[in-house]
A = this chain, B = another copy of it.
Amino acid sequence: MSALQASRLLADVLHGTPPQQRRAMAKAITLLESTRPDHRRDADALLNALLPHTGQAFRLGISGVPGVGKSTFIEALGLYLIGQGHRVAVLAVDPSSSVSGGSILGDKTRMEKLSVHERAYIRPSPSSGNLGGVAAKTREAMLVCEAAGYDIVIVETVGVGQSETAVADMTDMFCVLQLPNAGDDLQAIKKGIMELADLVVINKADLDPDAATRAQAQITSALRLLGLHGRPDTAHHDDTLWHPRVIQLSALQGRGVDAFWQAVSDYRRLQTANGRLAARRQRQARAWMWDRIDSGLREAFAQHPAVRQRLPALLDAVLAGQVVASAAARELLGAFLSAPPPAGGDVPEPLCLNDRSL
């Protein structure tokens, strides 16, 4: 990209007319999703130029199993927020999209009204294969949206594998949608999700109000057992800290969206005042940098000729109980560190060595 093209792209993302801006955002996000080294350099320059114009938006993560009604909820929420004067961007993290062809947000008809609104910007999940790569691209796309003036960024995930953690790690607040089954039929809450949730939403509460109320009580009780839910009646409760809440909602009927947004606003006000929001973002930025470093080191390692040559047999020997895992690791590290990696600062995507299935 020429310097002129780059400065035009930057200007259009920041200040373009609505159609210009929309085209520039799509172009910028496509650029940063590219794996071509020259694109990557242009994308880094663009991101660093956009960065001063980011950070003012609220970043909201939303997770839930298929069928819980995420699209309906996000459309209702998005339209509500636009009605309040906001501009809303919706992004997605779906590491399976490269396989499935994009199961979330790929089909814009899922959010018919929101997707055609000029104050909304919807972008499906990048499809770069592994979760770390998908999450990194989505983080960067989030910065593009923020620089373009979208002040609410929603990041959606279906909750495949570790994707909830990835979304919680890039957002200011993480919400989990649940179905209103209760008692013996209460669907199991996915491992580790309860600990990430700042807000649990029992969606489709109109289907069975009693079940929704029981589910609310049960989840509140589980949060308490996990030490995550404050108890207003005890000394453990601290008014200056956020304690995860459980609320009911019916997105289809449009009921509860205002209560949802009230809870989000409470969270934002409290966590801004007590400094937790700023601390969370700093922690996320640091962790993101190290995550990308770790990922890059692993890729360079997995592509190294000496490692590629020795790894399969050594791993077989480890799995067969013939070589101690730590000794195998030291042998491979020695091979990697004693010879410089292949020329070229740009590390290619790994083949299959990096997915740990080897």
* Interface of A toward B, CB cutoff 8 Å: 40, 44, 47-48, 51-52, 54-55, 136, 139-140, 143, 184, 186-192, 194-195, 218-219, 222, 224-228, 231, 234, 282, 285-294, 296-298, 300-301, 315, 318-319, 321-330, 332-334, 336-341, 345, 347, 356, 358
Report copies per complex: 2
A293-B189 in contact (CB<8A): no
Q: Which of B47, B140, B189, B336 contacts A227 (CB 8 A)?
A: B189
For residue A326, which residues in chain B have a CB less than 8 angstroms away from its CB? 44, 47, 136, 139-140, 288-289, 292
Residues from chain B with a CB closer than 8 A to the CB of A301 are 293, 297
- Structural contact, B294 and A294, CB atoms closer than 8 A: yes
Q: Is the CB of B293 within 8 A of A329?
A: yes
Using known A-B contacts A226-B188, A231-B184, determine if residue A289 contacts B194 with beta carbons closer than 8 Å. Answer: no
Q: Which residues of B contact A345 (CB under 8 A)?
A: 333-334, 337-338
Complex contacts, A347 vs chain B, CB 8 Å: 333, 337
Q: Are B289 and A329 in contact (CB under 8 A)?
A: yes
A325 touches B289 (CB 8 A): yes
Q: Is the interface of A mostly helix, strand, loop or mixed?
A: helix
Contact of A293 among B286, B332, B339 (CB under 8 A): B332
Query: Taking the nearest CB of chain B, how far is it from the CB of A111, in angstroms?
Result: 28
Known: A289-B315, A289-B318. A225 touches B189 (CB 8 A): yes
**A155 → B minimal CB distance (Å):** 16
In whole angstroms, how far apart are the Cα atoms of A288 and B326 in the complex?
7
Residues of B within 8 A of A287 (CB): 356
The CA of A294 and the CA of B329, in the complex, are separated in Å by 9
Q: Is B330 within 8 A of A300, CB to CB?
A: no
Do the beta carbons of A184 and B298 come within 8 Å of each other?
no
- In the complex, what's the smallest C-beta–C-beta distance from A230 to chain B, in angstroms? 11
- Residues from chain B with a CB closer than 8 A to the CB of A294 are 294, 297-298
| B-chain residues with CB within 8 Å of residue A222 when the two chains form the complex | 222, 225-226
Q: Specify the chain B residue showing the minimal Cβ separation from A293.
A: B329
Cβ–Cβ < 8 Å partners of A226 in chain B: 188-189, 191, 194, 222
Q: In the bound complex, what is the Cα–Cα distance between A189 and B228 (angstroms)?
A: 10
Q: How many angstroms from the CA of A101 to the CA of B128 in the assembled complex?
A: 47
The answer to whether A286 touches B356 (Cβ under 8 A) is yes
Q: Is the CB of A225 within 8 A of B188?
A: yes
Q: B residues within 8 A CB of A54?
A: 321
From B228, B329, B336, A292 is in contact (CB under 8 Å) with: B329
Give the nearest-CB partner of A307 in chain B.
B293
CA distance A52 to B301 in the complex (A): 29
Question: Which chain B positions have C-beta within 8 A of A286?
Answer: 315, 318-319, 325, 356, 358
Q: How far is the CA of A332 from the CA of B295 in the complex (A)?
A: 12
Instruction: Return A11 CB to nearest CB of chain B, in Å.
Output: 19
For the complex, what is the distance from the CA of A101 to the CA of B188, rounded to whole Å?
Answer: 42
* Residues in B whose Cβ lies below 8 Å from that of A192: 192, 195
Q: Which of A188, A222, A293, A324 has the most CB of B within 10 A?
A: A324
